[in-house]
Structure 1
Amino acid sequence: MKMNALLKTLGFLALAATPVLAGTSPAPKNPVAPAPENDDLGITASLGYDTNYIWRGLNYGQNWVRSAAEGSILLIGGASEDGAGTTSLDWNAQFGTLAGDQEHFTPNFGADDFGVSFQRLQLGAAVAHDFGPATVSLGYTYYRNMGTFTRLVTNDGGEINLGLATSLGPIDIASSANFDHVNNSWYFDVNASTTIAITDSISLVPFANVGYGHNLNWQFAADSGVANGSWGGLNNITGWTAITTGIQLPIKLNSRATLTPYLAGNLPLGTTANLGGSARDAGAPDTPYKSVLFGGVTLSVRF
């Protein structure tokens, strides 16, 4: 009797120690926490400074302070589903100002004629489709030009943009065609760059850009400044504008923040350089149309 009772007790203990379902393991003492959900909003905000504000080959002035926000919203995600590629809505908002009234167009006039600090708000959106070998985009950009250069008047701008981005081996190529229907002008450009990894967090990015304008007036009003003939002999120009080339040095501070200093040179080509010739008003500076070495830095944070 005692032996039977002992065997029953051992059998009960063995049954109690056996998992309820075959193939099920007991829960670990220290379970691994589930991976956090991706809380990336797809938005990048940035603050930056440029020693000179170069826009489409023209040197507007010194000490450009800027801020920006940009992002991308996935509209169609077909790359992993049917091989059709992805379609996204890319958007950006930028604001910049020439700090300290450091504009280059009218600094030689009298004290009462000094220009106020030029400011520009830029809002853009584009639908981009990734075809695999290349990404094509179609969008619109609105320019709000505020402040003014003394004796120079700027218009706002509204551009229809067509873009193409691709890679040729290690070289990234991007080009755009931009029609400003407000100012009736065209601007085309091609940009080439490559990324050279130095460490896991530091890269070297050489780049070069060349632009071409047709009836280009840089959004200056036809009855003043660069566009009225007194500063360049032509109402609107057609031809190569400038070559801008330099080196960026992106530095990853952490998984979300990047600091990018750069050094570059802007070399106006014949069409732009000629605006600084004898056709200018007496006393008008030729600084906007001359070659310049400039640099700056951008701090960007992804959210």
Structure 2
Amino acid sequence: MTGNMSLNAPRDAGVEASHSIGRFDFEAGGFLEQLKIGFVTYGALNAARDNAIVVLPGTANTRHSADGYIGPGKAFDTDAYFVIALDAIGAGTSSKPSDGLRGRFPAYNIRDMVRAGFALVQQVFGISRVRAVAGASMGAFQALEWSILYPEATAASILMVPAARAGHVFRSTVATARRVLTMDPLWKDGQYDVPPVEGLRMAGRVYYPWTVTDAWIEQLSPEQLEAETQQTVERAAQWDAWDFLKRYEASASHDISQPFAGDFAKALDRVQASTLVLPSATDRLLPVASARLVARGIRHACYAEIPSTQGHLGWRAVQGSPATTFINDQIARFLGTTG
């Protein structure tokens, strides 16, 4: 393991580290002799090692995606919990295509991310059962798969803007973003010498409108709309092209029913964890119907819709906003009544 890691680190400071979990075999085939997973921790692990919350990132995000919900008095209260925020395979400080393999980096999926994260938690911290797993969007995909793959090792699960599978809207949006990116002349069939930044920017521009709603867009001035769009555009431009493609393809492949011959009920029946399902009421990227399917299929599920007109992005922490206050309150109440 590398990094300045201490289980007794100050509670208000995040401690960055990474760890190689050893050889990793991917579900679709291929392997890495050494798979590295990056992470940051907050708070202190108690003597019983039963207060750990694992926070998992969204598609475009890293281990810092939920920072606005982590800290004393927040949803993931570091005065009470030991928070481990992970970088999933393919981005951040975890192993990724831009490390050198590029297009030869093995195809990976949500279950691969979860198996790697679970191995890290066991190897580094000796934790056999987590207090909770949590995440938004692709982070929720991972948290749900964690509960399915490791039902006895998961006490609770918190799913923000989740889905049982990536639907047609999301998959189509990702396919369009890929096509736009690979049309950049600098792409060169993936053998680029100069990063295809304009292709990445255009992919971000294609993606942005689906993360919000018509109502949200229409209440913005043209200048505000362009400024918001540019935030997504520039975030996309910061990615390596192969990292971007492999990550979004992994997210778009999400389907909890796939190992169960398409049977969602059978997949969800494996979940033993108390589960909080928090979709955005106006999400069109991952429609609320899929979140309702998840809540209906889990025996110990609580369900509430985030009151936001911002669509999929309604989960993002904005200090003082009604949606963020709602999420903080829902999670704090849920964790306070489950164990």
- Indicate the structure (1 or 2) with the bigger Cα radius of gyration: 1
TM-score w.r.t. structure 2 length? Answer: 0.28
Instruction: Specify which structure has the higher proportion of helix.
Output: 2
